[in-house]
Amino acid sequence: MNVVETHGLRMRYGPVDVLCGVDIHLARGEVLALLGPNGAGKTTTVEILAGFRKRTGGDVTVLGADPGSGNEKWRARLGIVLQSWRDHGKWRVGELLGHIARYYTPYGTPYAVGDLLDLIGLTGQAKTPIALLSGGQRRRLDVAIGLVGRPELLFLDEPTVGFDPEARQDFHELVRRLDTTILLTTHDLAEAGKLADRIMILAGGGIAASGTAAELAAQISGKSEVRYRRGDRSYADSVDDATDHVRNLFSEYDKEIQDLEVRRVSLEDVYLSMVRQFESGVSA
């Protein structure tokens, strides 16, 4: 059975449909990246799956239960790292983790604080007040809080926003060390490609594309973009056979064709064009 399964998931805020029938499935042990531009509905999806937000429609099962009616025992099997989390700056890293670990003891065997600090690379900060952590260390602590109960399913909502490249790289290494099922959201295609077994692109209220990074790239690898100028106008034609297209252009317009450029379309191009369509209000 899948750890997460949604069919026709819908969410409407007032008059606005944010999710218009989204199907997600996530198998045990898999890392799935939900990729999409700002406002695509990634956080909304995570909040619904984690039981924080009531959906408008569709069927949702997470770890065998409907998140709308999951009990505390069910909740203890989830780890949730949302975008921002505030707590008391004077609390020390180790103490906070020990305190949260006690919450999980009726439901299972939480991590020993020392082991968890080792895993996330904060051993040296065990006694540091939270207010004194760097942004990257703070985010590691957020992940530790999500992990402390040894969750079967971990949600990471845009975990590396605001990171510099080095902190991002460190964080990616941390995520790769984790041995659990993960659903992470990001608007960074490179991050999705690095961390996830599978990527789902959320845009325009639905799943615009889905597959491994290699599968997504293969779906579009045949496409090329032919750019040129003719008279006062510039053109950018997306075509399967660039050679044939260029031959036709020259036979029809000959010397009118100027500044010709042919380029393979990359996965990033396709993602950006989906984002642009979405942002200009055109459904993907």
Ligand X SMILES: Nc1ncnc2c1ncn2[C@@H]1O[C@H](COP(=O)(O)OP(=O)(O)OP(=O)(O)O)[C@@H](O)[C@H]1O
Residue position matching structure tokens 């993907």: 284
Q: Say how far apart CA 284 and CA 277 lie, in whole Å.
A: 7
Pattern 239-268, ligand X, x by CB under 6 A: ------------------------------
55 binds ligand X (CB under 6 A): no
110 binds ligand X (CB under 6 A): no
Helix runs in the chain, H state only: 42-49, 72-75, 93-104, 113-120, 135-147, 165-177, 189-195, 213-220, 242-253, 267-279
Minimal distance in Å, beta carbon 156 to ligand X? 12
Cβ–Cβ under 8 Å, residues 108 and 136: no
By CB under 6 A, name the one of 39, 58, 121, 129 that touches ligand X: 39
Q: Which is nearer to ligand X, 104 or 163 (CB)?
A: 163
Q: Say how far apart CA 146 and CA 138 lie, in whole Å.
A: 13
Minimal distance in Å, beta carbon 41 to ligand X? 4
By CB under 6 A, name the one of 43, 125, 181, 224 that touches ligand X: 43
18 binds ligand X (CB under 6 A): yes
137 binds ligand X (CB under 6 A): no
Q: Which is nearer to ligand X, 203 or 242 (CB)?
A: 203
As to burial, measured by CB atoms within 10 angstroms (0-12 exposed, 13-18 middle, 19+ buried), residue 29 is exposed
Q: Which is nearer to ligand X, 113 or 156 (CB)?
A: 156
Name residue 277's amino acid.
Q
Q: Which is nearer to ligand X, 42 or 77 (CB)?
A: 42
151 binds ligand X (CB under 6 A): no
Query: By CB under 6 A, which span of 31-39, 106-114, 128-136, 172-180 interacts with ligand X?
Result: 31-39
Minimal distance in Å, beta carbon 39 to ligand X? 4
Q: Say how far apart CA 140 and CA 274 lie, in whole Å.
A: 31
| Helix (H/G/I), strand (E/B), else coil: 169 | helix
Q: Say how far apart CA 198 and CA 2 lie, in whole Å.
A: 14
Name the residues that contact ligand X, by CB under 6 A. 13, 18, 36, 38-44, 187
